[in-house]
Copies of this chain bind each other. A is one copy, B any other.
Amino acid sequence: MTLPDRDSGSVLLQEIVEQPAAIARVADNSPAYAEIAAEMRRRGVRVTRLVAHGSSDNAASFGVYAFGLLPGWTAVRDSISLTVYYGAEIDVTDSCVIGLSQSGETPDVVEYVELARRRGAYTVAITNDRSSSLANAADAVLELGAGPEQAIAATKTYTTQIAALALLAAHAAGAGDEYADGIRATAAAAAEAIPDLQARARELAVPFAFIGRMFVIGRGIEFATTREISLKLLETCRVAAEPLTSTDMIHGPVAALDTFFPVWAIASEEQSLAAVREAALRARAAGAALIASGTSAESIPDADAYLRVPEPPFPLLAPLVTVIPGQLFAWALAQAKGLDPDRPVGLSKVTLAP
């Protein structure tokens, strides 16, 4: 049994499908990234501080790994509240600050960037709106070029942020051209995979329609994906989905699992795969239903469902595709639950509140 076809009307689905083209446009903007990476090197940046909320903050999780693995730099998801609410005056003269915001209007991200720039940091805005407050506040702007995002739940602005951070880090490491090509190749592979993933997500949504709780596990490069899939399930499907590193799940939360508390494991072909596999086995032993996705989904034994995605030319680029099964599942599960995937209850597109 699958659901009736309500595909044509969903802007969420449309934007999920648009992602490969949007990601490829980031690669086409490679010279702008090269220029900013050169400026970061010229200034001898010691710490890259990523500031964002929501999906953009999930993308920032990826940035920590992109900068750590490519140029070997320290990048952190910085505390916004320390600077904006508590007025801490931390020395940022050796820092690059990257503010990420789809709209470019998230107030405390804008305020953080303004303060950091005044204090001598090199500030970069990554946003979908070149004329936004964030773009105006920063020294330099990287426009995502994702096109208008109309669904409340972010999709293409998230994956273009991932591409943007990967490309910037690659240029910082002198590998910008290879990664621009890699992003294009990954986009093409994603476009090819989407129709089948969409069909499988629809099938899978039906038996999960009654689920109210879920853990999404992954680690390292894929922790961003883990967080973003959880957020899609929370806001679109009203599932209490919690992102956990595989290690943290074993450390305690595994005690909460049972048959009706499933686990989604993101298993990609990279160095943290063994840890994820181990945690998935523990979840299985606790009786939890198990969904395995990622570029190496089949390395999770005995899962109830597999949503494998194609392997990109560089393992670091996997999060460009591994999030897609989660987005499609959230779209399908919302429908299976009788919710409108385009308009989650009580949310608006831009959060202006504190």
Interface residues of A in 217-266 (CB under 8 A from B): 219-221, 231, 234-236, 238-240, 242, 245-248, 250-256, 258, 261
Binary flags per residue of A96-131, CB closer than 8 Å to B gives 1, else 0: 000000000000100000000000000000000000
Cβ-based interface call for A33 (8 A): no
A81 within 8 A of B: yes
User: Are A94 and B46 touching (Cβ within 8 A)?
Assistant: yes
Pair B252/A347 contact, Cβ less than 8 Å: yes
B85 touches A220 (CB 8 A): yes
Contacts of A64 in B (CB 8 A): 79, 82
Q: Closest residue of chain B to A281, judged by CB?
A: B353
Q: Specify which of B242, B247, B279, B345 is in contact with A108 (CB 8 Å cutoff).
A: B247
Stretch at the interface among A137-145, A180-188, A270-278, A300-308: A270-278
Residues of B within 8 A of A213 (CB): 212-213, 240
Asked if A53 and B247 make an inter-chain contact with CB atoms under 8 angstroms apart, the answer reads: yes
Residue of B nearest to A56 (CB): B251
The docked-state distance in angstroms from the alpha carbon of A246 to that of B54 is: 11
Question: Closest approach, in angstroms, between the C-beta of A121 and any C-beta of chain B?
Answer: 12
Are B242 and A242 closer than 8 Å at their CB atoms? yes
List the number of copies, as a whole number: 2
Q: Does A68 contact B (CB under 8 A)?
A: yes
Q: Which of A23-31, A69-77, A199-207 contacts B (4 or more CB under 8 A)?
A: A69-77
A89 at the interface (CB under 8 A from B): yes
Q: How far is the CA of A85 from the CA of B79 in the complex (A)?
A: 25
Q: Which residues of B contact A270 (CB under 8 A)?
A: 86
Residues of B within 8 A of A258 (CB): 238
- Asked whether any CB of chain B lies closer than 8 Å to the CB of A346, the reply is yes
Q: Cβ of A150 < 8 Å from any Cβ of B? A: no
Contacts of A78 in B (CB 8 A): 76
Once the chains are docked, how many angstroms separate the CA of A126 from the CA of B250? Answer: 22
Instruction: Say if the beta carbon of A11 comes within 8 Å of chain B.
Output: no
User: Are the C-beta atoms of A81 and B271 separated by less than 8 Å?
Assistant: yes
In the complex with contacts A64-B79, A240-B242, A272-B81, A250-B353 CB distance below 8 A: yes
**Quick check: A72 and B89 within 8 Å, CB to CB?**
yes
22 sample A-B contacts, Cβ–Cβ < 8 Å, listed by A number: A46-B46, A46-B47, A54-B252, A68-B79, A72-B89, A74-B76, A81-B219, A81-B220, A81-B271, A108-B247, A212-B213, A213-B213, A231-B252, A234-B255, A235-B253, A235-B255, A236-B255, A240-B261, A242-B242, A246-B354, A278-B354, A286-B345
Besides A73-B90, A235-B252, A242-B242, 10 other A-B contacts (C-beta < 8 A): A65-B82, A68-B86, A68-B88, A69-B86, A74-B90, A212-B240, A234-B253, A250-B351, A254-B346, A255-B346
Chain A residues packing against B (C-beta within 8 Å): 46-47, 53-55, 57, 64-65, 68-69, 72-74, 76, 78-79, 81-82, 85-91, 94, 108, 153, 212-214, 219-221, 231, 234-236, 238-240, 242, 245-248, 250-256, 258, 261, 270-272, 274-275, 278-279, 282, 285-286, 344-347, 351, 353-354
